[in-house]
Structure 1
């Protein structure tokens, strides 16, 4: 009887050991497999649409099958290396928030291998519809064309027609284009209202030097603060036509712009006897991108904080037909980036913490860029030309 009892105990003990061993083994294997992510790399060089200019500061990214983002940026020479999970992926290349310039590439990533993308694949495509108003001194259209992109010339009469300008995503205002103000102030009052509506609904504009008058009022230029006209509140910006000619040492004041350019100091030629000088601005409203080194005066500013009450709600440019949505994604280190992604991805990204809309500014506002310096491609503007390329691609 005693032997039989010991035999039963031995069998139970053996059974317990066997059961414990069978449970542990697959769990360990499963957990190890779940935490192992096989990755490879993609390398390339972001180029303008005509393949002649490298594009620095471009966002390059993809997602895994659980919608985790893999992200990098191109350097000043347009070069990038993106680590990505193994498999077939869509690679996105964008500037700005991706709503105006972007490219998509299908690529197969292999474990521990680097896939070199051809420059024919990494050209940055123009999605935006771009317009410009011809100026007296500047030709931003020439810089646009050197990048291989296209822009349509419009007039101040076109600016007075909201239906016409709503066709475009971006409008460039060359210095001196407001010169006919005194002959028809009623026309420009309509223009100011239309530009407010355009930006409030997501359109972006760029103005140079004397064309600050479109923003804050005045005729060809502004000679005082709080003048009649314009659409940016007088409390947000004042610029006076009191600058003098000469070479000015400048500093790039934005980390993203510095990365894209590959330098943070430059010399700008203010080549007119008088130019607009920013007297004061609201730092919570405007971001300073370039400043004068010796005085810290703002030379280039931008905002996407514009709001206006009573403006018409109207679709702008490609908005009615686009299948892309701007979202704000937080990277490691609490770095936030605004990107455009296919609409089908939005619910999954939101579930992981992304928010719809840009990371900063008004939820509906487009960008306003203003430079006190000129933008003509043939003029002596030093290395400010590459800054203006950045402006074009990041509106």
Structure 2
């Protein structure tokens, strides 16, 4: 009963519109927008999507969709562009042009609120999981590339997101500095990575997996993460420690089934470098982590990814003096100067330099498909890279 009450409270909080820069108290006239954010083809609800619009002074009015995809937003009257974004908005986003009427509530058509994929996405085929199946179940597209193609940066740099399935490493990754250097360069220049289970070896070294701390290889410092391939099969009760994630999927705890005989346990993690999103509820050990902190100045080059993103720029929007936190959004390049004049800055509010996001999960969608509620987490990861 307590768990149900918590989920209800989280959902209610999400439906409360935020107007970080709004001057409603100074007489700003608004109307109300309501709607439901869904995926592009399969029309699944998207929780945790950022929905926002600006007034004429580039002050932001925003809210987040709840676990059922529903939102309600107070918006300045007049001709407005409403943005729907997940992650930082560089990979999945939708815009809507409409007229907001004073003191009127508009119920927006669901067809106009479907989240578009603007990222070019790749995955490396694995032996023990298939993240591409979940991507497809959401209605989005991913292209298969081979492990050997990771050695060619001209191929790697074409993508915005690369998914590294468990069991996708061929040979000893510790000696394959070309692959790991390419992945480090990819992230430094804005690319985002997902790695699951044994694929932690791409990040911190090892063979096809990682059997001890401080193994040779990888591009992430061993001081930030140690993972050892000694996890046993069974069910773990997990707690979602990131409030935004819990709110987006409507769960604060869940059971995660580990059906392989040896999975990569996270032994130590530097929480100033990695954010822990999911933990073992009994041992407090990290089960899923995320970082925007990897950046190698020596690898800085051209921004990676899909050319259709070249007219869009990620910024850190700075609210006025009401104490609200800065918020990362992606805007059209033509609007950049007006945002800079407002006090916004280039790049993500949380990332270092031009770096992209890395997610690492110790769990995945298994060979026997015994994934349960952890699918909701993986769906959220896909849309927030």
Same fold (TM over 0.5): yes
Instruction: Assess if the C-alpha contact under 8 Å between 1:239 and 1:277 holds in 2.
Output: yes
- Identify the range of structure 1 (35-44 vs 308-317) with the bigger mean alpha-carbon deviation: 308-317
Aligned residue in 2 for 1:87: 78
Matched, 1:153 2:144: yes
Matched, 1:279 2:270: no
Instruction: Assess if the C-alpha contact under 8 Å between 1:89 and 1:108 holds in 2.
Output: yes
Aligned residue in 2 for 1:144: 135
Give, in angstroms, the shift of residue 36 of structure 1. Answer: 2.6
Give, in angstroms, the shift of residue 336 of structure 1. Answer: 2.4
Matched, 1:237 2:237: no
1:385 to 367, 375, 378: 375
Aligned residue in 2 for 1:117: 108
Give, in angstroms, the shift of residue 327 of structure 1. Answer: 1.2
Given the two structures, how large is their TM-score scaled by the length of structure 2? 0.90
- Identify the range of structure 1 (107-116 vs 90-99) with the bigger mean alpha-carbon deviation: 107-116
Question: Equivalent residues in 2 for 1:1-395 (5 A)?
Answer: 35-178=26-169, 180-182=170-172, 188-311=176-299, 313-318=301-306, 321-331=309-319, 332-376=322-366, 379-395=369-385
Are residues 391 and 146 of structure 1, via their aligned partners in 2, closer, same or farther at CA, if it must alter by over 3 Å? Answer: same
SS at match of 2:180: helix
Instruction: Assess if the C-alpha contact under 8 Å between 1:57 and 1:75 holds in 2.
Output: yes
- Identify the range of structure 1 (313-322 vs 202-211) with the bigger mean alpha-carbon deviation: 313-322
Instruction: Assess if the C-alpha contact under 8 Å between 2:187 and 2:356 holds in 1.
Output: yes
Given the two structures, how large is their TM-score scaled by the length of structure 1? 0.88
For structure 2, the residue ranges without an aligned partner over 5 or more in a row are 1-24
**Number of equivalences:** 360
Distance 2:371 2:309 in 1: 38
- Identify the range of structure 1 (257-266 vs 96-105) with the bigger mean alpha-carbon deviation: 257-266
Distance 1:256 1:314 in 2: 32
Give, in angstroms, the shift of residue 185 of structure 1. Answer: 6.6
Distance 1:53 1:377 in 2: 23
Give, in angstroms, the shift of residue 303 of structure 1. Answer: 0.4
Give, in angstroms, the shift of residue 350 of structure 1. Answer: 2.5
Aligned residue in 2 for 1:29: none
RMSD: 1.8
Distance 2:217 2:247 in 1: 37
Deviation track 1:316-361 (CA, whole Å, cap 9, x = no partner) reads 0126852111111244442221100112222222322322211113
Deviation track 1:79-121 (CA, whole Å, cap 9, x = no partner) reads 0111111111111000010000000001111111111111110
Distance 2:294 2:51 in 1: 28
Stretches of 4+ moved more than 4 A in 1?
A: none
Give, in angstroms, the shift of residue 177 of structure 1. Answer: 0.4
Instruction: Assess if the C-alpha contact under 8 Å between 1:140 and 1:377 holds in 2.
Output: no
SS at match of 2:215: coil
Distance 1:330 1:282 in 2: 28
Give, in angstroms, the shift of residue 52 of structure 1. Answer: 2.4
SS at match of 1:72: strand
Distance 1:192 1:298 in 2: 24
Deviation track 1:237-296 (CA, whole Å, cap 9, x = no partner) reads 110001111000001111111110111101100111111011111111000000010111
Are residues 286 and 245 of structure 1, via their aligned partners in 2, closer, same or farther at CA, if it must alter by over 3 Å? Answer: same
Distance 1:90 1:281 in 2: 41
Deviation track 1:163-191 (CA, whole Å, cap 9, x = no partner) reads 0010000000000001x214x875x3210
